[in-house]
A and B are shown apart, each in its own frame.
Chain A
Amino acid sequence: MSSELWPRVEALLSRVERPVRYIDTEWGAHHTPDAEHRSVLLYPDTYEVGQANQGLAILYERLNSTEGLGAERAYLPWLDMAAEMRTAGVPLFSLESCSPVAEFDLFGITLPYELTYTNVLEALDLAGIPLYASDRGETHPLVVGGGPCAYNPEPVARFFDAILIGEGEDAVAEIAGTHLDAKRAGLSRREVLERLAGIQGVYVPGLYRHSAGGVLEPVGSAPPVVTKRVLDDLGGHRPPVCPVVPYMDVVHDRFTVEVLRGCTRGCRFCQAGMVYRPVRERTADDIVRDAMEGLRCTGYDEVSLTSLSSTDHSQLEEVLRRLSSRLDGTGITISLPSLRVDAFSVSMARLASGGRKSGLTFAPEAGTQRLRDVVNKNVTEEDLIETVSRAFSAGWHRVKLYFMIGLPTETDEDIAGIGGLVHRVQRAARQAVPAADRGSVRIGVSVSTFVPKAHTPFQWEGQVPFDEILRRQEVLRSAMPRKGVDLSWHDAEVSFLEGVIARGGREVAGAIERAWRGGARFDAWSEQFDLSIWREAFAAADLDAQAIASHTYERDEQLPWGHISSGVSDRYLWLERDRAIAGTTTADCSFDGCTGCDACGTLGVDIMLGGESRGGR
């Protein structure tokens, strides 16, 4: 690679905050400047936000361990650094070789969250790469997206040459390998894209056109529906045990073992619970082996057992017992990021914590049993009270409860019900601790606004309008006990914008571009977020943002993400929607019978528990 930018980057570092974001040289970084095919993987936010992202760590590891392929990392420079770079004419650079991003073969960008989309454009612009795929020429890198937000790719589809839907372990090597072969054969960009469209899970937006009826249809041989890529067995794919160990104090600064993928509890609002199906566990032996090897290789003092619902792992207790006995006396801790609302979870948290009791988090989601049944959150008030009582008698002094407002069928009674439930939780918590400690009991309550997501039973529902959300927040505020409760909100303006982007189609791209041109950056940072820029952008793009967020789709109406499949059928999702409105719950197929979501059959995979196939197909 020709231009090493480090001396020019270094000259800027004395003038910016946190220069550690830009220096590379961390333990575990791979330097593969001579690979025949080179990718640079970007997290579209700052280093400290993106460094610990597991998805990118997996892709980085996979590409760097594949013959002929290499990968480097890039993050979006903070505002001060971006300004310095523009003044000095320094383009967006990779960390490892400090090369211009525009010189790589492939520019991979993960899509973790709708409010990073202006950062995607900022990254492309800093790199000197045209924002729209249709404006790119033969010399530009292939810009490939992926990650959680790819399940509704349309708002950003025009910015990407290709987008991977689903799991990247194998697909990333296949995409880069196909690109390498095409490079050797001297194929044109168009020919490369046509080949990529033939890879399972790859969506090439430029090969689709809107028909007269508003349906996105493929041109040529691209598939009419792109079905997500999925691994049949996590056991065959070890997590990276020697990942990059940052110098900086980053978000999730610990070693991580993904203990299982997928969750079939079936919460109807939860996109992850639908799109990561089926459940595939790693075995206890693999988890313990990888945790110990990862700790040895990284030197971290904490290992986190992650997944959508780690307490659902069939061998969790065994894993925790084995790990805590091996880590005894080392000062190394084990953390469990997500807890179910039950007694088992509290005892697992006790096992993991090794005496440290910082706080526990539970998510009842709704304030009344009626609404919890609607969303299929199979938790009763009794479960919650008992769980919290156990936690406080076991020595915790703080719990945090997550709720949502704006769920389908919600009434003011449901909202006021959150206040009542919190009050009863607080009373139970106080009763569970010695009288002298009652003053130290704290209940955190975090309330977010529901965004109906693609590929969920609520995908057809419109988001509750912005003004109505403000009114409902007032209802909640007046119903909430004041003493001993720390109430926090997810900003309603932010939720509104999330709704517009999450529910929008290809037309939203123009507004994202205008917002970026209007100065929107780091929208996920509350002090940077400015809805007025976005309102102007939507107006200039001639779009009614509220109508996009709040539109309720008919069953036979074309959804903007209708050409993308997570494997779970719309037939099933609609059935679940009907059950929701009827207040009927659905069981978890990992423990009870198959519920007929069609994921296993469509994807050709099975539920894997404790190393054995559960035969969901």
Chain B
Amino acid sequence: MAAGEFRLRVCYAKAGRARFLSHLEVMRALERSSRRAALPYAVTKGFNPHMKAAFGPALPVGTGGEREYFDVWLTQPVSAAEAFERLCGATPHDLGVIEARYVHEKEPSLTAAATVARYEVAVAGEGVTAELIEKALVTVVGEGRLEVEHKGKTKVFDLARSLPEEVRVRSCGPPVILEVTTRMGQEGSLRPDVLLNEALSRIPCGGAVMSVTRTDILIEEEGVLRRLL
């Protein structure tokens, strides 16, 4: 951060119809919100000056998020409450702003810091029960590793490392709602639908993942998970 810049962290949702947006589209939309809100944003130096902002890890098209984050650097310390109000009034409803607070410049970057994601996954299908899914998950996790084909490449996930917490049943449904917490990072980010599809393939009755929502992104510090804001 250059001297005299203030790092505002904004928590927003990617909900409703906005879940059909790509990460790039979300980024552009929120940068436009920040300009409409007339935040005194800092501009990068260099050949192609643009708003100084940084976004958390990408969500795929079709996946919603309840607590997503971006940082924007300001040149004047507008009060966080006022920045929040102005952003709320300048952001499309389905990308609703939830919170805005200043964070210290020493706080690690959103991509480096956010190493754990929590998801809510809805699964449904004839004969699919929470009990059957749990059993299948125990088998899959017990095998220790999961091979995933992605764009012609095979990725191997160490499930003990990829799953810092056990999968929990939130609702027996239908649909069955599960809370899945996975690690993200350079060694690969395990997608919860991939894990659930693997479990469903072990069940004779064919269920399917109906929706995936990322409910939060967390920082892991000395074995403890905490929120980014």
- A interface with B by C-beta (< 8 Å): 10, 13-14, 19-20, 23-27, 245, 247-249, 295-301, 329-332, 355-356
Contacts and interface: CB of A to CB of B under 8 A. Distances in A.
Given A25-B92, A247-B21, A19 B61 contact: yes
Interface in B1-52: 16-18, 20-22, 24-25, 28-29, 31-36, 38, 43-44, 47-51
A247 B25 contact: yes
A356 B44 CA distance: 14
Interface core residue of A23, A301, A331, A332 (most chain B CB under 10 Å): A331
B229 to A, nearest CB: 23
Contact of B62 (A19, A26, A27): A19
The 6 closest A-B pairs by CB, nearest first: A299-B32, A299-B36, A299-B35, A19-B20, A23-B17, A331-B43
Given A249-B24, A299-B36, A356 B48 contact: yes
B21 A27 contact: no
A25 B48 CA distance: 30
Contacts of B62: 13-14, 19
Contacts of B22: 20
A330 B20 contact: no
Contacts of B187: none
B145 interface: no
B135 to A, nearest CB: 28
A329 to B, nearest CB: 6
B17 A25 contact: yes
A331 B50 contact: yes
Given A13-B20, A299-B35, A247 B47 contact: no
Contacts of A25: 16-18, 92-94
A73 to B, nearest CB: 15
A245 B32 contact: yes
A247 B28 contact: yes
Nearest to A27: B92
A331 B51 contact: yes
B17 A24 contact: yes
A300 B22 CA distance: 18
A388 B205 CA distance: 70
B90 interface: yes
A450 to B, nearest CB: 38
Nearest to A10: B17
12 contacts: A19-B62, A23-B20, A25-B93, A249-B24, A295-B35, A299-B33, A299-B36, A300-B32, A301-B31, A301-B51, A331-B43, A356-B47
B32 A298 contact: yes
A337 B62 CA distance: 36
A23 B31 CA distance: 20
A331 B49 CA distance: 5
Contacts of A247: 18, 21, 25, 28-29
Interface string B41-84: 00110011111000000000110000000000000000000000
Contacts of A297: 36
Contacts of A332: 35
Contacts of A10: 17
Contact of B50 (A24, A296, A298, A301): A301
Interface residues of B, number: 30
Contacts of B32: 27, 245, 298-301
A26 to B, nearest CB: 7
A13 B20 CA distance: 8
Nearest to A14: B62
A204 to B, nearest CB: 39
Contacts of A248: 25
Interface string B110-122: 0000000000000
Nearest to A29: B92
Nearest to B211: A14
Contacts of B47: 355-356
B32 to A, nearest CB: 3
A248 B61 CA distance: 12
Contacts of A296: 36, 38
Given A20-B20, A20-B21, A25-B17, A299 B31 contact: yes
A299 B51 contact: no
B105 to A, nearest CB: 21
A26 B38 CA distance: 19
B98 to A, nearest CB: 18
Interface string B165-179: 000000000000000
A512 B17 CA distance: 36
Contacts of B36: 27, 296-299
A27 to B, nearest CB: 5
A299 B34 contact: yes
Contacts of A24: 17
Nearest to B20: A19
Nearest to B43: A331
Interface in B187-207: none
Given A25-B17, A26-B92, A331-B51, A20 B25 contact: yes
Contacts of A301: 31-32, 35, 50-51
A249 B49 CA distance: 19
A248 B25 CA distance: 6
Interface core residue of B20, B24, B32, B47 (most chain A CB under 10 Å): B20
Nearest to B46: A355
A14 B36 CA distance: 31
A17 to B, nearest CB: 9
Given A298-B36, A332-B35, 18 more contacts: A10-B17, A13-B20, A14-B62, A20-B61, A23-B18, A25-B18, A25-B94, A27-B36, A27-B92, A247-B21, A296-B38, A297-B36, A299-B34, A299-B90, A301-B32, A301-B35, A331-B51, A356-B47
A300 B34 CA distance: 10
A19 B33 CA distance: 22
Contacts of B49: 331
A24 B35 CA distance: 21
Contacts of A299: 31-36, 90
A20 B34 CA distance: 21
Contacts of A249: 24-25, 28
A24 B21 CA distance: 11
A25 B21 CA distance: 12
A132 B146 CA distance: 58
B24 A329 contact: no
A248 B33 CA distance: 15
A299 B86 CA distance: 13
Contact of A329 (B31, B33, B43): B43
